[in-house]
Structure 1
Amino acid sequence: MALFKFRLPDIGEGISEAEIVAWHVKVGDRVEEDQSLADMMTDKATVEMESPVAGVVVELAGEVGDQVPIGSTLVVIETEGAGEADAPVPVDEDQVEAENPGVEEVAAPAPMPAETAPAARREPAESAAPEARASTSSARTEESAPVPGKGEKVLASPAVRARAKDLGIDLADVRHDGAHVRHADLDAYLRYSGGQGYHAPHASRAREDETVRVIGMRRRIAENMAASKRAIPHFTYVDEIDVTALEAMRGDLNANRGTRPKLTMLPFLIVAICRTLPDFPMLNARYDDEAGVVTRSGRVHMGMATQTDAGLMVPVIRDAQDKNVWQLATEIGRLAEAARTGKAKSEELSGSTITVTSLGPLGGIATTPVINRPEVAIIGPNKIVERPVFDGDDIRRAKLMNLSISCDHRVVDGWDAASYVQAVRKLLETPVLLFAD
């Protein structure tokens, strides 16, 4: 018998440590080669660690939420072979790209003999857009969705496992496409199983108190938001915009879009933001607190806050000022999907100069968004509502939308923010100006 030391490999450029977000084994467990050991999170993604050897687990590096340095021992496994593995293995990026097309930044070591090479496999975020969830769920049939046998291992993200446990669902009963059970599969199970195997809690039944450790992406979001609010003196300005004409134009364009993507309000808003920013350069900027320097960007790299099951991510539309509404709609869809499936590249998740955040139909009356540090401004459209408005002596039906902007008061004055929103408002209320030179 010998002890095999599984050392945490280099799973991302510039990464010095990774966080344990889930253990899939415990001390005393028998593991087989390629069996999942743990999920490790870096700044951008989650990586599933697999055992390169078979044996019995005799030691684990820490608990969920602990940080583990690159190269340190993650798991010790007692094997039937001889010798130990003591050295971390560098990442072979070409091999990872070949095995995981479109998956970036966090990679797996190249295949090596089991005695020396720990293996890591990228675990994409278990997420999909609400529209995709609905279409996926509605398309499920008993013929197309396999159910694993009761004795088989079911693969799922920690978030999906936690949700299934909370709902009292056995993952082995859930039909699913692909290798992993996803949230959409749980939705389909609840919708089409007729409640079999699931007992909804009574509305008035009390639940036990629960202590949840803040780890993984949620901890990183918490740290970033706390740093932003702690360091930046925020103020928020909100104004009402009549988007009746814009909504009519959007409807006409969508009716004649052919094979082009469907237009939402967001591409029009981004065009308006980009066209007005040259007159308000203090808004399209990044503030270096330590150096006391504000860098005003000549280009608009538009951050787009995107909700995923792993947490809030901000993919970036590069050179948004050079794109028309159709190009923006295409890029918005591509980046949102990449973020939600964990395929966004590292360069697509950094370098924004100003951010837009939208909750779509959940947008509410007004929002006070938190600035995406080190930027100095973030813009939040709210939901569109129909209300009667006075038009001279007449009353007409109008589609109205509140637009919020939060700014860093160290860099942007209230007058500047209000003036800027008024400029955006002019373009959105007279949408033909969005297409004028």
Structure 2
Amino acid sequence: MDDKATGAVTLKRLRTRRGLSLNDLARALSETARELAHPHLPSTASVQRSVARWESNRPTMPDERYQLLLGLVYARTPAGQTALGAGSDFAEYLDALGLLGEGERRIAELRSAVVRRVTDAGGGMLAFLAPGTQAALVHALADPTHVDERVTAGLGAAVSDVDQQVGSVPFVRLQLLLSPALEACRQLLAGPVPVPLVPELRAVAVSAATLAARLTFETRDDTAARALYADATRWAAALADPWRQAGVHMSHALVTLYSQDGLDGARRLVDEAVRTARSGASVRVRARAHALQAEIAAREGLERQAQTALGLAAYDTEAHHKGDPSPSSFSLGHLRGFEGVCELYVGDPQSAHDRFARSAAALSAPREQVQRAIVRTDQALARIKLGEPRAAADLLHECVGAAASTGGRVPAIRLRRARRELRPWRREEWAVDLDDHLMDVLGS
């Protein structure tokens, strides 16, 4: 059986497993469209024929509207609970679309759209836990000696799923989605978890607390963010591989860089990240640590030190990464952004602009939109240094939407700093337009 036939069989299995006839599913899709205030679907008989074509021996691909409607139907269990994680009907549905030939990017966009709809409706607090994991987790929380690999793997998958929605879903909603997994980790680590499973559970807790700290910072609660970073640092120190400690230090360094005057606090955290990353198993994490070290040096005007650290970051980025435990933590697109920052502060603004442009082009995935907005604001600063303030304002208009869609603090901070550099032209019509856009969307 080829992939398309397997995809069609999967769609049929999802429907029949719920006891739905072709007509039942057609009605469910029409009802979902009405709930969303979408244009009315064709007659039930017409929709039923479409469902049959998707499940036929020579299946067709549901179009984008039907993909969303099907996703929303399968995002809820027959009992009405939201379930989006591994093992859910929704996850199986996305796999079916992939088998039918849908691209990874479109599937990622669809997944984000469904998560947005779920959180719009105020649901989803345990959405990323696999159905079977929820019951096992309840049992384990009552008695931590019953923690098993299904629980730790399920919690890890839930944290990873929330992390993948950064840039697609507002930060405040991601906090709600993440909090049950983090609290579960905290409670289980305080209990008598079976010793062989402690390291795995602690690693999940590190990821959850680090992500929670970043989300909390983005939603402007610095005190809570510092406490979460302290938890993540403590748990990471008890793990055998130092690369996880480096990851916590780098995340903490970035929020420190944006929230405090001066560079001393961020530099100390970055230096500690480099130290721990050097003895860790992840080359990608080590590359990111060196790149961040280069940025701090450049902001201090230390050109030689910045170039040395950039060279180490480039070497690690180009190295063989097979088996890296954190393969997605750093990429060539990210490196180009750091190279641009260094050129901006201790090099050539034209070179900085070109590197930022290449970095922004490479950061195209939904998960990378926050980073892309940051890179674009830096590109605008380069345009100002090149004597092109109006072109800089055009770039900043693009970034306003990205900052508003996530509610993120860092893009907003970068936007305001870039806008301050445009003060000499504040009376120009295009500068007034930018101020109006910032006020309308961000309130500042």
Return the index of the structure with the highest Cα Rg: 1
Structure with more of its chain in strand, by fraction: 1
The TM-score with structure 2 as length reference comes to 0.23
Q: Which structure shows the higher helix fraction?
A: 2
Question: TM-score normalised to the size of structure 1?
Answer: 0.24
* More RCO (CA 8 Å, sep 6+): 1
